[in-house]
Chains A and B, each alone.
Chain A
């Protein structure tokens, strides 16, 4: 399957600082990328959908100003958690689709964010 690389895999930051997570599609161009959040022993909750060259579409309840998403190219999307607080600690996962039609979504390895 296609490869999606997410970096970093783990990050610890202090409250009030910002953290950037990168998601790259290594062997294909991803017109659409998705960002999910996963709490322990729970399923993946969609945060936002990111289309290359346009603004991200956020799910209800997700703060746009806190979770900044940029999809600058067909192979890179970034999620920046701004002014992080301990409640933002979670497992963040990105996903990329091969094209606009019905295709499989491939996932990155995930990023474990801990805010202290």
Chain B
């Protein structure tokens, strides 16, 4: 059974304090790993897709990396507007997008 576990559940940072979010996964035939951002009361907003181990992608202060067992979302010098819940999801041979529980990030000014 495909499974995604994210840690930590919640993370509080000061503005400018860099950190990383973890996404550990087990999946039958990984076809893609996705990162989304979700603001309260809204649908997830697509951030990145990673397809194979060793791949990295960047967007502004965010950088996503992938290994065979986990993915990291690195946040460099975060700002308060980066506060949100970050969701990791895997897409495997089942054809379903399976989500982790999410990490709720709060960045204080």
Which A residues form the contact surface with B (CB < 8 A)? 1, 4, 6, 34, 41-44, 46, 49, 91, 93, 95, 102, 104-110, 112
Q: Mark B23-43, 1 if CB is under 8 A from A, else 0.
A: 000000001101010000111
User: B69 at the A/B interface (Cβ < 8 Å)?
Assistant: no
Q: Say yes or no: B46 contacts A106, CB within 8 Å.
A: yes
Set B31, B46, B51, B87: member contacting A44, Cβ < 8 A: B87
Complex A-B: 30 CB contacts under 8 Å: A1-B46, A6-B43, A34-B97, A41-B104, A43-B87, A43-B100, A43-B102, A44-B87, A46-B97, A46-B98, A49-B96, A93-B43, A93-B44, A102-B31, A102-B32, A102-B91, A104-B34, A104-B46, A104-B49, A105-B34, A105-B46, A106-B46, A107-B36, A107-B43, A107-B44, A107-B45, A109-B42, A109-B43, A110-B41, A112-B41
CA distance A93 to B42 in the complex (A): 9
Chain B neighbourhood of A102, CB < 8 A: 31-32, 51, 91
CA distance A7 to B95 in the complex (A): 26
Chain B neighbourhood of A95, CB < 8 A: 97
Q: How many residues of B contact A (CB 8 A)?
A: 23
Q: Say yes or no: A44 contacts B44, CB within 8 Å.
A: yes
Interface of A is mostly: strand
Give the interface centre of B32, B42, B44, B87 by most chain A CB atoms within 10 Å.
B44
Known: A43-B100, A110-B41. 13 other contacts (CB 8 A): A4-B43, A41-B104, A42-B101, A46-B97, A91-B41, A93-B44, A95-B97, A102-B31, A102-B32, A104-B46, A105-B91, A107-B36, A107-B44
User: B99 at the A/B interface (Cβ < 8 Å)?
Assistant: yes
Measured between C-beta atoms, what is the minimum distance from A95 to chain B in Å?
7
Chain A neighbourhood of B43, CB < 8 A: 4, 6, 93, 107-110
Chain A neighbourhood of B46, CB < 8 A: 1, 104-107
Chain A neighbourhood of B31, CB < 8 A: 102
Chain B neighbourhood of A104, CB < 8 A: 34, 46, 49
